[in-house]
A and B are shown apart, each in its own frame.
Chain A
């Protein structure tokens, strides 16, 4: 589904991604993990064409994405911070994205699922953080695309909404979608991820199943395994 080769990106003097190689198979659910500043967000943004790499190539669904923008029609993206135009209504922002993509969406189904109906005519600036995040989820999931990229999807969600989101993600994987997500919540990784992509200093430190990582680190569980990696690389941890 995704193939990345020799990817490099520098911000000024800071090398964020160094000769990164990654390949993600179709129909898998992958957690992208790593300490702060390890390049997770930059990697995601490179795939979406928001950050332009210095060198290297990225192919999605077999096509290189360089100088292209139509490929994004097949990707759903959920940004970390939900901050929408404050004076638009929830209904309008949903309509706007449908308008931009110029196609139908399953927004009604998701609005019902997350119980957003009472908020549809409210302006976005009047929404609480959690409700805003639910709108963010609806916007990301409504186009039913084969590739889903979620940046910290559980931010600010209450336990009920969190459970619903997990169920939703589960359903999407069963449909054969490819999902990438970043998170700092290990529990979420254990619950939903099949594979882990662990980034350290702009490179892939580990890629494989959750179990394989636990075994590799000789740790009792995933939390300890990840803590061990962080400890072995103390410079990064404070960076």
Chain B
């Protein structure tokens, strides 16, 4: 698996898209920091970008990479390696190369601005961790969708729909629910539904860490009330981790029974 991972990573890291993605974060980081002159504010803005863009890029690249490398995957399948090693290796190569662009692209401007001398360093690390998790989760789900659909158009459509649902529609439904059922106690419902969406969960995590959850309204307040900041952070980290492992299990299960 490590071997496949290594070569997938080196292939992807040299693709034009990786440079582009890297340059985007680099530019955004510089612009936000030097216009805002405030690391904390830059982190919040950055979070808003990452929790939408990270999953989108993960989904789109995951789908494109799987479908583009299908013939090569067939060659790999004819080699003496286990199926699960091939797909996990390819997936991790992709997720890590995307995360690499993100971490380096954001790391450079923040480091130059003087991140290491400020006390925001842990908040920044949290931002990177969330970006990494979301990349892993969504590229993993993209891989699973691609494995399950021979038809590329259908696979691509499903993946984009999944992103749209998690990033936009989910919040809408959530809000409607809160309004419709406002007569009832909704704390548990609000908690549960935030956990079921990794994007919401990431948002809450960063806001809890930045200790400004009151700004984000109901869910954040509920989370803070229930867990207290420390525990809430721990709980969301744990659930985010479950979200990261889930696609891996799905990929392995699907790959075992698939005909190529």
Interface set of A (CB-CB < 8 Å, partner B): 11, 45, 48-52, 69-73, 75, 77, 79, 81-88, 92, 96-97, 99-101, 139, 149
CA distance A51 to B258 in the complex (A): 7
Those 10 A-B pairs whose CB atoms lie nearest each other, nearest first: A83-B71, A85-B11, A77-B78, A73-B80, A87-B14, A72-B80, A51-B259, A50-B260, A48-B78, A87-B11
Kindly list chain B residues whose C-beta atoms are within 8 Å of the C-beta of A49. 77
B80 touches A69 (CB 8 A): yes
B3 touches A75 (CB 8 A): no
Kindly list chain A residues whose C-beta atoms are within 8 Å of the C-beta of B12. 87
B77 touches A85 (CB 8 A): no
The smallest C-beta distance from B155 to any residue of chain A, in angstroms, reads: 18
Interface-centre pick from A49, A50, A52, A99 (highest chain B CB count, 10 A): A50
Quick one: which of B1-59 are within 8 Å of A by CB? 3-4, 7-8, 10-12, 14-15
* Candidates A11, A51, A92, A101; contact of B79 at CB < 8 Å: A101
Kindly list chain B residues whose C-beta atoms are within 8 Å of the C-beta of A87. 10-12, 14-15
B3 touches A139 (CB 8 A): no
* Candidates B10, B81, B257, B260; contact of A69 at CB < 8 Å: B81
CA distance A48 to B79 in the complex (A): 9
CA distance A52 to B260 in the complex (A): 9
Q: Which residue of B lies closest to A77 (CB)?
A: B78
B74 touches A50 (CB 8 A): yes
- The interface bits of chain B over 55-91 (1 if a CB of A lies within 8 angstroms of the residue's CB, else 0) are 0000000000000011110111111111100000000
Can you name 24 A-B residue pairings with CB atoms under 8 Å?
Answer: A50-B77, A51-B259, A52-B259, A69-B83, A77-B75, A79-B71, A79-B78, A83-B69, A84-B72, A85-B7, A85-B69, A85-B72, A86-B15, A87-B10, A87-B14, A88-B10, A92-B10, A96-B3, A96-B7, A97-B79, A99-B7, A100-B3, A100-B76, A139-B75
Kindly list chain A residues whose C-beta atoms are within 8 Å of the C-beta of B14. 87
Q: Which residue of A lies closest to B76 (CB)?
A: A100
A48 touches B80 (CB 8 A): no
Kindly list chain A residues whose C-beta atoms are within 8 Å of the C-beta of B83. 69
Where chain B touches its partner, the secondary structure class is helix
B77 touches A81 (CB 8 A): no
- Contacts A96-B7, A99-B3 known; A45 to B260 CB distance under 8 Å? yes
Interface residues of B, count at CB 8 A: 26
Interface set of B (CB-CB < 8 Å, partner A): 3-4, 7-8, 10-12, 14-15, 69-72, 74-83, 257, 259-260
Kindly list chain A residues whose C-beta atoms are within 8 Å of the C-beta of B79. 72, 97, 100-101
The smallest C-beta distance from A184 to any residue of chain B, in angstroms, reads: 19
Q: Which residue of A lies closest to B69 (CB)?
A: A85
Interface-centre pick from B3, B77, B79, B260 (highest chain A CB count, 10 A): B79
Kindly list chain A residues whose C-beta atoms are within 8 Å of the C-beta of B15. 86-87
A69 touches B82 (CB 8 A): yes
Q: Which residue of B lies closest to A87 (CB)?
A: B14
A83 touches B78 (CB 8 A): no
Interface-centre pick from A49, A75, A85 (highest chain B CB count, 10 A): A85
B80 touches A70 (CB 8 A): yes
The smallest C-beta distance from B9 to any residue of chain A, in angstroms, reads: 11
Q: Which residue of A lies closest to B15 (CB)?
A: A87
CA distance A99 to B257 in the complex (A): 26
Since A48-B77, A85-B11, A100-B81 are in contact, a sample of 7 more A-B pairs with Cβ atoms closer than 8 Å, ordered by chain A residue number, is A50-B77, A50-B78, A69-B80, A69-B82, A75-B78, A99-B7, A100-B3
CA distance A97 to B79 in the complex (A): 8
B80 touches A50 (CB 8 A): no
Kindly list chain A residues whose C-beta atoms are within 8 Å of the C-beta of B260. 45, 50-51
CA distance A49 to B255 in the complex (A): 12
The smallest C-beta distance from A56 to any residue of chain B, in angstroms, reads: 15
Kindly list chain B residues whose C-beta atoms are within 8 Å of the C-beta of A88. 7, 10-11
Kindly list chain A residues whose C-beta atoms are within 8 Å of the C-beta of B72. 83-85
Q: Which residue of A lies closest to B258 (CB)?
A: A52
Q: Which residue of B lies closest to A72 (CB)?
A: B80
Q: Which residue of A lies closest to B72 (CB)?
A: A84
Kindly list chain B residues whose C-beta atoms are within 8 Å of the C-beta of A79. 71, 74-75, 78
Kindly list chain A residues whose C-beta atoms are within 8 Å of the C-beta of B10. 87-88, 92
Kindly list chain B residues whose C-beta atoms are within 8 Å of the C-beta of A81. 71
